[in-house]
Protein backbone atom coordinates (compact mmCIF):
# COMPACT_ATOMS: atom_id res chain seq x y z
CA UNK A 1 0.00 0.00 0.00
CA UNK A 2 2.97 2.33 0.50
CA UNK A 3 3.54 2.72 -3.24
CA UNK A 4 -0.14 3.60 -3.77
CA UNK A 5 0.05 6.38 -1.16
CA UNK A 6 3.27 7.71 -2.72
CA UNK A 7 1.71 7.65 -6.21
CA UNK A 8 -1.37 9.50 -4.96
CA UNK A 9 0.81 12.16 -3.33
CA UNK A 10 2.89 12.42 -6.51
CA UNK A 11 -0.28 12.97 -8.53
CA UNK A 12 -0.99 16.07 -6.47
CA UNK A 13 -3.43 14.78 -3.89
CA UNK A 14 -3.07 16.00 -0.33
CA UNK A 15 -3.10 13.66 2.66
CA UNK A 16 -6.61 14.95 3.43
CA UNK A 17 -7.72 14.06 -0.13
CA UNK A 18 -6.29 10.55 0.17
CA UNK A 19 -7.99 9.92 3.50
CA UNK A 20 -11.32 11.40 2.43
CA UNK A 21 -11.55 9.92 -1.08
CA UNK A 22 -9.55 6.68 -0.98
CA UNK A 23 -8.56 5.40 2.45
CA UNK A 24 -10.75 6.72 5.27
CA UNK A 25 -9.33 4.03 7.55
CA UNK A 26 -5.83 5.58 7.59
CA UNK A 27 -4.55 8.69 9.33
CA UNK A 28 -2.17 11.49 8.43
CA UNK A 29 0.36 9.78 10.68
CA UNK A 30 0.06 6.64 8.53
CA UNK A 31 0.90 8.74 5.46
CA UNK A 32 3.88 10.27 7.28
CA UNK A 33 5.06 6.75 8.09
CA UNK A 34 4.85 5.85 4.38
CA UNK A 35 7.06 8.83 3.56
CA UNK A 36 9.46 7.92 6.35
CA UNK A 37 9.68 4.34 5.08
CA UNK A 38 10.43 5.42 1.50
CA UNK A 39 12.99 7.96 2.73
CA UNK A 40 14.74 5.25 4.73
CA UNK A 41 14.93 3.05 1.62
CA UNK A 42 16.56 5.71 -0.55
CA UNK A 43 18.60 7.50 2.12
CA UNK A 44 21.87 5.84 1.18
CA UNK A 45 21.31 5.85 -2.57
CA UNK A 46 23.61 7.85 -4.84
CA UNK A 47 22.18 11.25 -5.73
CA UNK A 48 22.39 12.50 -9.32
CA UNK A 49 20.79 15.90 -9.91
CA UNK A 50 18.07 15.83 -12.59
CA UNK A 51 19.90 18.35 -14.75
CA UNK A 52 23.09 16.26 -14.74
CA UNK A 53 21.18 13.01 -15.28
CA UNK A 54 19.49 14.47 -18.38
CA UNK A 55 22.91 15.15 -19.95
CA UNK A 56 23.93 11.46 -19.80
pLDDT value at residue 56: 56
Q: Where are the domains of the chain?
A: 2-55
Specify the pLDDT at position 29.
98
Distant-in-sequence contacts of 34-38, Cβ < 8 A, 24+ apart: 34/1, 34/2, 34/5, 34/6, 35/6, 35/9, 37/2, 38/2, 38/6
Q: What is the mean pLDDT of the chain?
A: 90
Q: Tell me, what's the pLDDT at 13?
A: 98
- 4 or 51, higher pLDDT: 4
Per-residue pLDDT tens over the stretch 18-45: 999 999 999 999 999 999 999 999 888 8
Amino acid sequence: MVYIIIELLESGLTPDDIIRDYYPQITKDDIKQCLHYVASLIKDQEYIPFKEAAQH
